[in-house]
Every structure is written in C-alpha cells, then in structure tokens.
Amino acid sequence: MYRTLIYIFLLLSFHSLFSQNNFKDSLFKIRAFQFADSNNASSGYINAEQFRLLKDYGFTHVISLIPGDQSKEDSIVNSLGMSFTQIEVIWKEPTVENVQNYFDDMKKYSGKKVLLHCIANMRASAFMFLYRTTQLGIEKDEAKKRMYEIWDPKENAKWDALINTVLQKNGLENSY
C-alpha cells in the first residue's frame, strides 16, 4: 500500500512537471516571446488564444505599445480578468514620455506578472531594457542580452537616441 502511494505521488509529480514545462513551452509560440525575469516578459503580436495562455500562466497585466485602436485587445484582456494599458509608441517617433508612462505603469503593477508587447518585440524589448537598467538596477550588459536577441537599436538613430537619453536622464552612462 505504501509503495503504491509513493508510486502514485511520483507519477503525479512527474506529470505535473512535464505538463508545466509543456505549458511554458507554449508561451514561446507567441511571436518573439521572452522572459525578462520571473514577473516580466515581452513579446510581439498576441492573438486571443495566446492571451488565454498568458492568463493561465499567471500574467495579470498587459501593456501594449501598439498605436491605434486597441479596444478589441483591451476587451479580450479584461474578459480574462487581466488589466490592460495602451501606451501608443509611434515607431518613427518614440518619446521619453512614452518610456516614463511605461515606468509609471510598471510601478502600479510591481510584483505582478506583466507582459509588455508590440508588433515584433522591438519597441517592447527596448522599453524592457530601459526598465530593467534604470528602474531595477540590472547591469546593462545583462539586460541588453534579451534586447539584442530581437534587434540592435543602434541601427536606428531615433531609437538609439531615445535609449541614450533615458539612460543619461536616469544617471547611467549613455552607452549600451
């Protein structure tokens, strides 16, 4: 009897472990999905089914950097019991105010699982880099690894200038 209980416990434990890993793996089917840490992630575009995966994984807040009407996304996210913020970041004209709005939103949801996304995770990965370095104190070399998996903002003058301005404004050397 005792052996049977141990066997059942081990079987359930392994099943749970593999199910959780498979579940986590399904998050990586989201375009350019990346965990920044245990509570923060960024990605590209997300469809309705993928929002459910995020909810099931424990995300409680979604921030979209996509400009334009995001009322459908807002409705989907809210229907799943998560909260939603849109910060309209124009690709060709990103602003320090956009970044500050993101930082302010992150303060509201500190300690919660938050997903930041845009269309291709370029805007989002740059904002996540700035958040991690200027607000969380993560070393730039460590934080930029994730961003560089997606793109190199130095190849875009507007984004390079934005990143350097925000770093400098927050007392960090403006090279990354």
- For residue 169, the model assigns a pLDDT of 96
Name residue 13's amino acid: S
Q: What is the pLDDT of residue 25?
A: 73
CATH match of 31-169 with 3.40.190.80: no
pLDDT at 3: 62
SS3 116: strand
Torsion angles phi and psi, residue 57, rounded to 5: -80, -15
Calpha distance 116→98 (Å, rounded): 13
Render pLDDT for 75-92 as a digit per residue (tens, 0 to 9).
999 999 999 999 999 999
Q: Who contacts 97 (Cβ-Cβ below 8 Å, separation ≥6)?
A: none
Q: What pLDDT score was predicted for residue 16?
A: 42
Cα separation, 91 vs 88, whole angstroms: 9
What is the residue whose two structure tokens read 């009322």? 71
* Per-residue model confidence (pLDDT) at position 175: 85
Reported pTM:
0.86
**Positions in the chain whose pLDDT score sits under 50:** 5, 7-21
What angle (nearest 5°) sits at the alpha carbon of residue 164, between those of residues 158 and 170?
Answer: 135
